Copies of this chain bind each other. A is one copy, B any other.
């Protein structure tokens, strides 16, 4: 077994990514971030998902600089309309900060693989979810670290990159993911997910396309 770092938010995509890394027989190190997000409930989901997968789970508390609806700057947009351009829920440089931490952890643990659950199909239009971004991060990572210059820098894997949300759900079902443990809503309450934010909309459409009822609670 070789070690793998898996970025785990607690949503559908990262839960399926963790299950894929487990199916590939990696020793799992799940990494989550508490960055002042509105939807802190996802961290509780991440902890449960990591526990079920027997992953060693680290939650890193990081400062953030605001500038996103997910951090309380302005309302979370609701509605079924297509996003035009980059939506206000974009968090500046989020995946770059997350992957930088994953890179540091990989170096310390001598892990050769980093998994991130981004996808470029149903992805809300964030710039740091695109394949060209991930390729550039990977090139940078190979120059940034001791492992990299010794020729064994970590691979950055985004196994969902070309999947639709429906594809991801099907893949997760095949890998035994319990979707009732996941949480995706940008604006959840104790009564459940809102069912109307961009993230809920993409999720609900994905389950509808698969012909399956989403097992989480909506308010």
Contact = CB atoms under 8 A, between A and B. Distances in A.
Nearest to A64: B104
Interface in A130-183: 130, 132-133, 136-137, 139-141, 143-146, 148-149
Contact of A104 (B97, B104, B132, B137): B97
A130 B104 contact: no
Given A63-B60, A100-B100, A127-B149, A144 B108 contact: no
Contacts of A145: 92-93, 127-128
A interface bracket (residues with beta carbon within 8 Å of B): 35 or more
B137 A132 contact: no
A153 to B, nearest CB: 10
B146 A127 contact: yes
Interface of A: 60-67, 86, 90, 92-97, 99-101, 103-105, 107-109, 127-128, 130, 132-133, 136-137, 139-141, 143-146, 148-149
